[in-house]
């Protein structure tokens, strides 16, 4: 943040950061879906891609409620998380291990987003930005649900299969 003087300025800065986060994830999620070998994981990524597009639209409405133009500020944090996820795709991993690692990478992104949205909601409430808060809360709810879905897929057998070295081609989907 350059010359931030008020909480409102910090709020706008973080709103721009999370807007860029969502837009970077819109680019990354299709690659993750394509790389997933378990159908449920691929579907989770595809579903969350559509939700992420809606998250960006909600942020645009949040900006409008504040009479600010929607614009992003490059988010180095999510860029690093995405780079780590891309590195997984370059490694020679068995299918289940790759899927388990994709879940881990996606959950890093979800937790990063949940932290950002939680902070924005707290700050927005303190400043009375009710419409923006309502929009941010809807997105936070979906981010938490996406995280829970990823946990369910991992704990639903994928992690155990990866630990045993069982290829997803050998077990039913």
Within a 10 A sphere around the Cβ of 22, how many other Cβ atoms? 23
How far apart CA 6 and CA 13 sit, in angstroms, is 11
pTM: 0.90
> Which pLDDT score is estimated for 165?
82
Domain 7-164: CATH architecture, name and number where available: Up-down Bundle (1.20)
Lowest mean pLDDT among 120-124, 136-140, 162-166: 162-166
> Which pLDDT score is estimated for 99?
95
How far apart CA 52 and CA 165 sit, in angstroms, is 32
Within a 10 A sphere around the Cβ of 47, how many other Cβ atoms? 16
Instruction: Give the residue from 3, 5, 51 showing the smallest Cα distance to 26.
Output: 51
- In this predicted structure, the answer to whether residue 84 has a pLDDT above a threshold of 90 is yes
pLDDT tens digits, one per residue of 133-158: 999 999 999 999 999 999 999 999 99
> Which pLDDT score is estimated for 106?
97
Contact in structure between 70 and 76 (CB atoms under 8 Å): no
Contact in structure between 161 and 40 (CB atoms under 8 Å): no
pLDDT tens digits, one per residue of 44-75: 999 999 999 999 999 999 999 999 999 999 99
> Which pLDDT score is estimated for 171?
44
User: What is the signed CA dihedral for 55, 123, 116, 1, rounded to 10 degrees?
Assistant: 110
Backbone angle region of 163, left / alpha / beta, with phi > 0 → left and psi within -120 to 50 → alpha:
alpha
- In this predicted structure, the answer to whether residue 111 has a pLDDT above a threshold of 80 is yes
Contact in structure between 133 and 124 (CB atoms under 8 Å): yes
> Which pLDDT score is estimated for 12?
97
């Amino acid at each position: 943040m350059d010359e931030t003087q008020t909480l409102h300025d910090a709020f706008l800065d973080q709103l721009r950061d999370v807007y860029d986060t969502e837009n970077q994830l819109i680019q990354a999620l299709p690659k993750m879906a394509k790389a997933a070998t378990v159908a449920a994981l691929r579907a989770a990524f595809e579903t969350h891609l559509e939700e992420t597009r809606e998250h960006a639209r909600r942020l645009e409405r949040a900006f409008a409620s504040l009479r600010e133009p929607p614009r992003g500020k490059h988010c180095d944090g999510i860029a690093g998380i995405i780079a780590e996820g891309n590195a997984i795709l370059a490694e020679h991993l068995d299918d289940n291990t790759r899927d388990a690692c994709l879940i881990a990478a996606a959950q890093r992104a979800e937790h990063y987003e949940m932290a950002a949205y939680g902070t924005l909601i707290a700050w927005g409430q303190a400043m009375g930005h009710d419409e923006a808060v309502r929009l941010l809360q809807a997105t936070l709810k979906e981010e938490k649900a996406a995280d829970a879905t990823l946990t369910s897929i991992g704990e639903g057998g994928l992690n155990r299969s990866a630990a045993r070295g069982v290829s997803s081609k050998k077990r039913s989907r």
